[in-house]
């Protein structure tokens, strides 16, 4: 390759790099790319003693909490972990002893693993609202 050709190639390469650098990931300024989710599809299948359920495109799974509010997102959100909030032993009723366990979990003097039934929204913590639900289940029964 001759020297003039090398200069042309080098110049074209330099211009290309400059253009690519200025076109890379637009951020700041007047334009903002908001996060979004495009999701859909899925279904269930079963055969013999096996069941399989799935969803295509579930990217926004999880819980976001602020103050006394919790927002759970996703097609398979674990919004209700137990049919009876506060029923630690799974017998279908809440006892005073189970409420005390829930208070201890809330205060941090007992681990959540002692009674995951108080974590109704599965955000890995017990809130006052979840304890109130447990008290209501004690007073009025589950269901």
Neighbours of 55 (CB within 10 A): 15
Fold classified for 79-143: Type 1 dockerin domain (1.10.1330)
**CA separation for the pair 74, 64 (Å, rounded):** 12
pLDDT of residue 99: 95
Q: pLDDT value at position 47?
A: 76
pLDDT in the model for residue 105? 93
* pLDDT value of position 97: 94
Query: Is the pTM here over 0.75, yes or no?
Result: no
Q: What is the 3-state secondary structure (H, E, C) of 34-87?
A: CCCCCCCCCEEEEECCEEEEECCCCCCCEEEEECCEEEEECCCCCCCCCCCCCC
Low-confidence ranges of the chain (pLDDT < 50): 79-82
Check residue 142 and give its pLDDT: 84
Distance, CA of 109 to CA of 31 (rounded, Å)? 48
pLDDT at site 80: 42
Give the pLDDT of residue 79: 45
Tokens representing residue 59 in the block: 């990217």
Delimit the domains of the chain by residue range. Answer: 79-143
Q: What are phi and psi of 102, to 5 degrees?
A: -60, -40
């Amino acid at each position: 390759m001759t020297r003039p050709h090398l200069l042309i190639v080098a110049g074209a390469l330099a211009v290309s790099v400059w253009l690519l650098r200025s076109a890379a990931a637009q951020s700041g300024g007047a334009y903002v790319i908001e996060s979004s989710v495009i999701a859909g599809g899925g279904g269930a299948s079963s055969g013999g003693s096996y069941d399989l359920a799935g969803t295509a495109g579930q990217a926004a799974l999880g819980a976001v909490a602020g103050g006394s509010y919790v927002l759970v997102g996703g097609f398979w959100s674990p919004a209700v972990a137990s049919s009876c909030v506060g029923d630690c032993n799974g017998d279908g009723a809440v006892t005073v002893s189970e409420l005390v366990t829930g208070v201890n979990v809330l205060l941090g003097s007992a681990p959540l693993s002692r009674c995951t039934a108080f974590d109704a929204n599965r955000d890995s913590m017990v809130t006052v609202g979840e304890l109130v639900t447990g008290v209501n289940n004690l007073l009025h029964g589950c269901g």
